[in-house]
Amino acid sequence: MSPIPGLQRVGLLGGGVIGGGWAARFLLNGVDVQLFDPDPEAPRKIGEVLANARRATTKLVMPSLPPEGVLRFVSTPEEAATGVDFVQESAPERLELKQDLLRRASTAAGPDVVFGSSTSGLLPSLLQEGMRFPERLVVGHPFNPVYLLPLVEVCGGAVTSVAAADRAVAVYESLGMHPLRLAKEIDGFVADRLMEALWREALWLVNDGVATAEEIDDAIRFGAGLRWSFMGTFLVYRVAGGEAGMRHFMAQFGPTLHWPWTKLMDVPELTDELLDRLVAQSDDQAAGRSIRELEVLRDDCLIAVMQGLRTVGFGAGEVLDRYERQLFGRSPAPAVILGGGPIRIHECTVPTEWVDYNGHTNDSRYMQLSSEAGDRFLRHIGMDAAYLESGRSFFTVESHINYLAQSTAGDRLYVTIQLISHDEKRMRLFTAMHRADDDSMVATAEHMMLHVDTRLDRASPTDPLILDRLAVIGAQHDLLALPAQAGRAIGQRRDA
């Protein structure tokens, strides 16, 4: 059962780079996938993309992902579209091929099933020709890697219904994406037209020997590209205008648009000489790294940027924050082990990226592990997505951690929580992290948490229902001995 209402199963037409990315995006959100691709290597290729996506997405988001959807390969486009709630087409950019696939699939899909096309430039009005119920087709143009980049351009054709576009937007948003809804269809849509303009100028710079491929990429990735990732073009230029804003910027720099220094409206002939030069320079940039290695590097860089932007709640970070809240709200209450002692609430296997140069789990990861256990405890006592949306949450105001032993990559750890004390605004939790093989304790952490009204930015009383649950747990944990590490200050003797 998919955690996304109304989206249990989707049909995918095409399993290349983009189609494989869509498969991963749907599957990792718990949606079953029926995929048609005549390439006999499609299962292997998609399996590799899915492995990268699984690794990347679990690093990108902190909440647990839902149980993965089931992937099934089918032999015809009709079969791919049978019994599904949504169809996404990602075939090669050949109009006749796409029209044929959409025509065939539309005869099998229910009349209310919306179709999205991943085309990067073909007009949706052309793609609709020959379809059954053509008003349900929209362009849903994503960007590679589909499973990480949030942007998807949504564009309707001449007969596309508002309801179909609304449905596509809702589907893409449920997958953690940012739909950019275009009011008018145009060849290449918006993002690709902007990228093509830069690409034409870059080709001229290589053609004229002004710069190499690597130098041009450096000019972007070390400069404007960092600003583009969170402000785009117009907002950057507005800021550049100073206190007077965009008007001053245009007055100062607008006349330069007429200077004859650009070759933007022309494109160099793609001669064998130019192609050879581009290929050689691209090989130099790769430095022997495989495509998969470059994908992993790309994904890690994207994760770092998006997680960094999340801390300031802006741009793609705002989309990621909203997506994490969706995942938090969809996830079931955490499984806990109750008994006469502390609550066993979280388990994990130490991943390789947690290990430092000494071969041991980095100190910061124990605080992360304790924090994840704390989030699960909050979920256990009833703090769900609706509670967060109401503007209420618990904030950690003080923490103390003790390191008792070591763990390494591959070790299985579990975390227990003991409620030391609580009142209507405060909660004191003690977490203990253990090795699963011998139950030895590797670290402990103590947290003082304050219940906050996030809209007023001040402490507030906890909801009575949560207080009732805390009271039940507190009555049991009051019978337990205070942990030896609880309340200890730095340098304090253990027997003090």
The DSSP secondary structure of 417-447, one letter per residue, reads EEEEEE-SSEEEEEEEEEETTT--EEEEEEE
Distance CA 134, CA 15 (A): 23
**So what's the pLDDT on residue 334?**
67
257 has a pLDDT exceeding 70: no
Instruction: pLDDT band for 206, please (50, 70, 90 cuts).
Output: very high
CATH node for 333-477: 3.10.129.10
Taking each helix axis from N to C end, the angle separating 17-27 and 42-60, rounded to the nearest 10 degrees, works out to 50
Distance CA 186, CA 123 (A): 7
**So what's the pLDDT on residue 490?**
62
Q: Are 151 and 145 in contact (CB under 8 A)?
A: no
**So what's the pLDDT on residue 356?**
87
Query: 32: part of which helix (H) or strand (E)?
Result: strand 32-36
**So what's the pLDDT on residue 260?**
64
Of 419 and 270, the structure prediction assigns the larger pLDDT to 419
Distance CA 177, CA 147 (A): 9
Mean pLDDT, the chain, whole residue set: 91
Residue 268: is it exposed, middle or buried by C-beta count within 10 angstroms (0-12/13-18/19+)? Answer: middle
- Architecture, CATH, for domain 9-189: 3-Layer(aba) Sandwich (3.40)
pLDDT tens sequence across 100-119: 999 999 999 999 999 999 99
**So what's the pLDDT on residue 162?**
98
Share of the chain above pLDDT 90, in %: 67
Instruction: pLDDT band for 246, please (50, 70, 90 cuts).
Output: confident
**So what's the pLDDT on residue 489?**
66
Q: What is the mean pLDDT of residues 449-478?
A: 94
Q: What is the mean pLDDT of residues 400-426?
A: 95
Instruction: pLDDT band for 43, please (50, 70, 90 cuts).
Output: very high
340 has a pLDDT exceeding 80: no
pLDDT tens sequence across 153-197: 999 999 999 999 999 999 999 999 999 999 999 999 999 999 999
Instruction: pLDDT band for 406, please (50, 70, 90 cuts).
Output: very high
Q: Are 416 and 345 in contact (CB under 8 A)?
A: yes
Residues contacting residue 176 through CB under 8 Å, at least 6 positions apart: 29, 61, 150, 319, 320, 322, 323, 326, 327
**So what's the pLDDT on residue 333?**
66
Distance CA 164, CA 115 (A): 8
Instruction: pLDDT band for 265, please (50, 70, 90 cuts).
Output: low
pLDDT tens sequence across 10-23: 999 999 999 999 99
Taking each helix axis from N to C end, the angle separating 272-286 and 191-207, rounded to the nearest 10 degrees, works out to 100
**So what's the pLDDT on residue 243?**
78
Helix (H, G, I), strand (E, B) or coil at 238: helix
pLDDT tens sequence across 353-388: 898 888 899 999 999 999 999 999 999 999 988 898
**So what's the pLDDT on residue 238?**
84
Instruction: pLDDT band for 462, please (50, 70, 90 cuts).
Output: very high
What's 192-288's CATH class?
mainly alpha
Sheet holding 86-89, edge to edge: 71-74, 32-36, 9-13, 86-89, 114-117, 137-142, 151-156, 178-182
Q: What is the mean pLDDT of residues 124-148?
A: 97
**So what's the pLDDT on residue 96?**
97
∠ CA 163-171-14 to the nearest 5 degrees?
Answer: 105
Asked if residue 145 has a cis previous peptide bond (ω within 30° of 0), the answer is yes
Q: Are 415 and 447 in contact (CB under 8 A)?
A: no
- Map out the domains of the chain as residue ranges: 9-189, 192-288, 333-477
